[in-house]
Amino acid sequence: MNTVRDEIMPLQSESDLITVRQAVRIWMVPEGFNILEQTKMVTAVSELARNAITYGGGGEARLQLLADAARRGIRVTIIDHGVGIEDITKAMVDGYSTGSGLGLGLGGSKRLVDEFNIWSEPGQGTRVEITRWKQ
């Protein structure tokens, strides 16, 4: 697996969120992802980035283009150094929210991508890595 392109973007404010969303789409277009694939990935990124800002006090988004012999893909990792998640299994359940949200961000973004990995440590922060492959 090669990383063809790698970039880290700040994620502190509402305007950062918009910039990251736009960057993900811009990266996906030349890779041949169709509009539905783009929309799903951008929506998932938007949910996770919003969580990092709302609950994690902000962080970074890492965008990567991946390639191996068989396929290419885009991976986005959303990182924050905030309060972390006590019970990830619970947080992943649709409808669970400690805020005023719908509780669909984590569960929903997992459904929208090919790979979803989450690490979180209370008091340390949260990292969510999502990947969409183009076969």
Ligand X SMILES: Nc1ncnc2c1ncn2[C@@H]1O[C@H](COP(=O)(O)OP(=O)(O)O)[C@@H](O)[C@H]1O
Residues that bind ligand X (CB under 6 A): 47, 51-52, 55-56, 80, 82-85, 91, 96-99, 101-107, 126
| Cα separation, 5 vs 16, whole angstroms | 20
| Cα separation, 101 vs 57, whole angstroms | 16
DSSP three-state, residue 69 = coil
Q: Least separation, in Å, of the C-beta of 25 and ligand X?
A: 21
Binding mask 23-62 for Mg ion (x = CB under 5 A): ----------------------------x-----------
| Cα separation, 52 vs 109, whole angstroms | 14
Binding mask 83-102 for Mg ion (x = CB under 5 A): ------------------x-
* Among residues 56, 105, 120, 129, the one that binds Mg ion under rule CB under 5 A: 105
Q: Least separation, in Å, of the C-beta of 104 and ligand X?
A: 6
CB of 38 or CB of 51, closer to ligand X: 51
Rg of the chain's alpha carbons, rounded to an integer? 14
The yes or no reply on residue 36 touching another protein (CB under 8 A) is: yes
Within the chain, where are the H helices?
14-28, 35-54, 88-92, 105-111
